[in-house]
């Protein structure tokens, strides 16, 4: 996969690309991540890429021509997907990250100031948001999207680990523990030390459903429940009702 990031601040990404799983994925040639300075596509001798908005209003708006030129240069094939990071976009979810990880080429556009000239919307494929809040620019959202997508590329991380991620199957992940088994009265659940793999698997399933019900009940409506999951969820709901 190729990920091209268009930004006013390529240096913002330097430590990100040299750290942890992203670094290993790059070194293994599992992904190619490039940053592109938008000012290199400016039509202004001072490399300016913003101007006042037509109709008036506060702040400055990023100009259309630099984005037009950089997109036309980077989008060499029809399957390249152009994504603008914006609070007006659809919410980035694990499902969306999984879909994007199957693409061959992503072009990410990072806005700044009051946003980008709306004509850019005619050149993009998707507008994606990381949440219902406003940041100073699209660089952090671009890093989040890049991280979420890259770790799902085959061989970047262990497939078993990825399969057990929170939200990968809709549910939040079950609680996990490591040594020591006791510390200042805080204990690891006995079932996890039992060696009974079936009992552990059942416990984890129950904990995963219970955690989702307690912390993110909004997620459950989008999960296609198995008969076992329905039974467990009904029991959790009834227990909560009985306990007031």
Catalytic residue among 40, 51, 69, 114: 114
Whether residue 128 sits in one domain with residue 46: yes
Bridge-based pairing state of the strands 81-91 and 126-129: parallel
The total number of structural domains that make up the chain: 2
> Does residue 155 fall inside a structural domain?
yes
* pTM for this entry: 0.86
Catalytic residue among 40, 51, 65, 87: 87
Catalytic residue among 50, 66, 139, 151: 151
The pLDDT score that the predictor gives to residue 166 is 54
Whether residue 149 sits in one domain with residue 28: yes
Whether residue 16 sits in one domain with residue 115: yes
Which residue, 236, 208, 237, is CA-closest to 223? 208
Domain boundaries, position 16: 2-159
The pLDDT score that the predictor gives to residue 118 is 94
Whether residue 207 sits in one domain with residue 153: no
Whether residue 16 sits in one domain with residue 107: yes
Whether residue 87 sits in one domain with residue 27: yes
Whether residue 122 sits in one domain with residue 26: yes
Establish whether 79 is a catalytic residue: no
pLDDT digits (tens, 9 = 90+) for 168-184: 678 999 999 999 999 99
pLDDT digits (tens, 9 = 90+) for 44-70: 889 999 999 988 888 899 999 999 999
> Does residue 177 fall inside a structural domain?
no
Question: Once rounded to an integer, what is the mean pLDDT over residues 97-112?
Answer: 96
Range 77-80, long-range pairs (CB < 8 A, 24+ positions): 77/104, 77/105, 79/103, 79/104, 79/105, 80/104, 80/105, 80/106, 80/107
> Does residue 167 fall inside a structural domain?
no
Establish whether 10 is a catalytic residue: no
Establish whether 151 is a catalytic residue: yes
Domain boundary residue, one of 128, 159, 190: 159
> Does residue 176 fall inside a structural domain?
no
Whether residue 139 sits in one domain with residue 230: no
Catalytic residue among 40, 53, 165, 204: 165
Establish whether 65 is a catalytic residue: no
The pLDDT score that the predictor gives to residue 160 is 63
Q: Which residue has the tokens 């057990």?
A: 164
């Amino acid at each position: 996969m190729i990920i091209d990031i268009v930004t006013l601040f390529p240096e913002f990404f330097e430590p990100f690309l040299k750290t942890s799983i992203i670094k290993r994925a790059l070194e293994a040639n599992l992904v190619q991540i490039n940053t592109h300075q938008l000012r290199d596509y400016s039509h202004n001798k001072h490399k300016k890429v913003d101007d006042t908005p037509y109709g008036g209003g506060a702040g400055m708006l990023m100009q259309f021509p630099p984005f037009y030129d950089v997109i036309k240069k980077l989008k060499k094939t029809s399957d390249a997907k152009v994504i603008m990071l914006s609070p007006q976009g659809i919410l980035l979810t694990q499902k969306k990250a999984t879909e994007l990880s199957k693409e061959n080429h992503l072009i990410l556009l990072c806005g700044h100031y009051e946003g980008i000239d709306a004509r850019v919307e005619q050149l993009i494929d998707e507008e994606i948001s990381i949440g219902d809040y406003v940041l100073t620019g699209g660089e952090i959202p671009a890093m989040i999207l890049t991280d979420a997508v890259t770790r799902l590329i085959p061989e970047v991380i262990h497939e078993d680990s990825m399969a057990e991620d929170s939200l990968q199957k809709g549910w939040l992940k079950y609680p996990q523990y490591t040594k020591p088994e006791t510390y200042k009265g805080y204990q690891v659940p006995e079932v996890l030390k039992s060696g009974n793999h079936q009992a552990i698997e059942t416990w984890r399933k129950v904990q995963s459903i219970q955690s989702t019900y307690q912390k993110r009940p909004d997620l459950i409506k989008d999960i296609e429940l198995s008969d076992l999951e329905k039974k467990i969820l009904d029991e959790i709901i009834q227990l909560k009702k009985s306990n007031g």
